[in-house]
Amino acid sequence: MNMKFLKILAASFAAIALLNSCSRDDDDSSVPAISVSAQTLEMTQDGGTATFTVKSNRDWTIVNGVDWLAFEPSSGKASDNAVTVTVTALANASKDRETTIKVSNQFDYKTIFISQSGHGGSSEIGEGTKDSPYNVAKALAIIAAGTYTDADVYVKGKISQLGEFGASFGNYTYYISDDGTATTQLEVYRGYYLGGVKFTASDQIKVGDDVIVKGKLVNYDGKTPEITSGSKLVYLNGQVAEEQTWTDLPNASGEGTEASPYNVAKSLNIIHNGQSSDSEVYVKGKISKLGEFSDQFGNYTYYISDDGKTENELEVFRGYYLKGNKFTSADQLKVGDEVVVLGKLVYYNNQTAEITSGSKIVSLNGETGGSDEPGEENEYSSNIKWTNGTNAYDDNTATVNGVKDVKVYKIGKSDATGTATITIPAGTKKVSYYGVAWKGAATTIVINYNGTEVYSQALAANDGAAKSSPFTITVTDSDHYTFDLTPVVGAGGAPADLTATITTKDGAKPRALFFGMKAEK
C-alpha cells in the first residue's frame, strides 16, 4: 500500500467523520424549551445585585430595555446545566420603577418582572397585566379617579396588615402597600389563596409577604378603596399559581339585548374572560337542571345551557319569575324549558359563572306574561336608560297609586349615598320623573353633566319607601318633577345622546326611588 493511497484513505475517513459530525449537530429534534428560576425580582433603593438561573436547550439571550439594569452573562449556549445570571441595579434616587425582561432562545421565552423602590417614594407604575401588575399607588390612583375595573387586574404589593380570616368560607381580608407599611395601603376584601383555592389556616400569609393579587378594583360605599371579594393570589413569595386558561366556546352569539340575547356560550365566554356585566343583559337558553326553590323568598336557582344538557351550564342564582314576580311553586319551571333571562353576569368568587341574584324571566317557552312595563301610555313607565353606579339598583318594582309592577330605580343606602348614570336621547329638551325619599328621611339629589352640577332637587320622604321591593307607594303631583335641559344643551334640545350622573347628596338616610322617568322633546 503506497503513501499516496494512505493519504487518500485518511482524507476520506476525515470527510466522512466531518459529515457525520455535521449531521448530528443539525439533527437536534428535541422540542425547544427554556426555564428560569424566578418570575419576579426586587432590587433595593441603593442598587446591588440579585441572581436567577436559566436552563435552555437552545442558545439564549436576555432582552432588556432599560439602562439601570445589567446582566452577567447576558446570553448563553444550549446546555443541560442551569446557568446563574447576576443582575446588577444602579441606585435609584427617583421614584419606584419597574421593567419586564425577556429571556429568549428564539423559539420560546420566559419573562421576569423586576422592580426597584426609589428614594423619591412610590410612583404609579404598571399596566394591570400579569407581566406588568399595578403597584398599590397606581391601583389607588385608579380608584380615586372613579375608574373601577370591570375585568380582573393584577396588583403587586407587600402585605401590610392582616384582617379577618373567614374559616367558614375559606377567605381572608388583608391589606397591601408598596413598602409593607400601613401608611398607604389597599384592602383586599375576602380574597382567596394561590390559584383561587380556599384558605385553610390563618398563617398561610403574614405581614411582609410579597404578593400579586388578581381581582377587581372598587371603591366600596365610596369610602373604602379595595380589591373586592373573590380575588385570588397568583404569586406569594416566589410561589406562582398555575392559572387555568379558558378556551372560548364556539358558536357564541348575541348582543345581550332583548332583540338579540346572548346565548349561553357567549355568556360563559364573557364571564371567564373577566368581563362581568355592570348592567343587565338578556340571555337565552334551555333549563338543564333545577336547583333550590325558595318558598319563603319566591326565588329559584336553576341552570341553563344552549342544548339543555348539563355541560357548559350557566347558573341562574335566585332568580324571579316572569315580569320579576315571585315564584309560587317549584313546578313553574322544568328541565327543557326555553327561557330568556334578564340579569347581570358575574363570576362569583372566581368559581361560579352565574346570572346573579335578582334576575327575572322575560320569556318562558315563548310566553312573556305581558309587558314588563305597565303600558306605554302609563305615566309611571320610564323611557330613559339607567346604568347602576355605586349603591344603585335597577331591579325594584312597586305598586304606585294602584298601578302594579312599576319598574323602580333606587340609589343610596341607609348610611351611604348612591350614584347612577342616565342616558338622555338626542333631541330631549326636558326630563320629567317621579322621585321620593326614604320613609322619614328626606334627601336631595343632584345631576352632573360634564363634571358640572346642572340640577338639584329636594325629595320628600314617602311612607311607602321602606323595607324592600316590591314597594307600595302613593304619590301626588308634588312628587312629580321636571328638569329643563335647554339651559344646558340649548333650545334645540340635546344634539346627541348624552349621559349624566344622578347622585343622592345628603339626608339622614340618603336613599331615593325614581319611576316615570321620561325624556320629552
Question: pTM higher than 0.75, yes or no?
Answer: no
DSSP state of 37: S
pLDDT at 415: 79
pLDDT tens-digit profile of 282-331? 999 999 999 999 988 889 999 999 999 999 999 999 999 998 888 989 99
* 3-class DSSP string for 423-470: EECCCCCEEEEEEEEECCECEEEEEEECCEEEEEEEECECCCCCCCCC
Q: Which residues pair with 500 in a beta bridge?
A: 422
What whole-number distance in Å separates Cα of residue 190 and Cα of residue 196? 11
DSSP annotation of 190 = E
Q: Exposure of 314 by Cβ count < 10 A (0-12 exposed, 13-18 middle, 19+ buried)?
A: buried
Q: How far apart are CA 134 and CA 126, in angstroms?
A: 4
- Reduced to 3 states (helix: H, G, I; strand: E, B; else coil), residue 497 is coil
> What pLDDT sits at residue 147?
64
pLDDT higher than 80, residue 390: yes
User: Residue 315: which of 338, 292, 281 has the closest Cα?
Assistant: 292
The answer to whether 429 and 456 are in contact (CB under 8 A) is: no
In what helix (H) or strand (E) does residue 304 lie, and over which residues does it extend?
Answer: strand 299-305
Q: How confident is the model at residue 95 (pLDDT cuts 50, 70, 90)?
A: confident
Q: 42 versus 227: which is more confidently predicted?
A: 227
- List residues bridging with 185 in a β-sheet: 177
Query: Mean of the pLDDT values across residues 146-171?
Result: 88
CB 433 within 8 A of CB 516: yes
% of residues, the chain, pLDDT over 90: 43
pLDDT at 371 over 50: no
Of 38-42, 241-245, 255-259, give the range with the top mean pLDDT: 255-259
Whether 366 has a pLDDT exceeding 60, the answer reads yes
| Set of cell numbers at residue 97 | 420603577
Q: Using an 8 Å Cβ cutoff, are 186 and 227 in contact?
A: yes
Segment 277-289, tens digit of pLDDT: 667 899 999 999 9
What's the confidence (pLDDT) of residue 451?
A: 78
Cell numbers standing for residue 427: 333631541
Which of the pair, 394 or 210, is modelled with greater confidence? Answer: 210
Of 477, 473, 483, the closest CA to residue 519 belongs to 483
Indicate the pLDDT class of residue 83, thresholds 50, 70 and 90.
very high
Q: Length of the chain, please?
A: 521
**Angstrom distance (rounded) from CA 209 to CA 310:** 41
Structure confidence by residue, pLDDT tens digits, 100-117: 898 999 888 888 888 887
What is the mean predicted confidence (pLDDT) over 464-489?
A: 88
pLDDT of residue 3 exceeding 50: no
Cis peptide before 487 (omega within 30 of 0): no
pLDDT tens track for 28-59? 556 888 999 988 888 988 899 999 999 999 99
Sole residue written with cell 347612577: 420
Tens-digit pLDDT profile for residues 174-226: 999 998 988 889 999 999 999 888 899 999 999 999 999 999 998 887 778 89
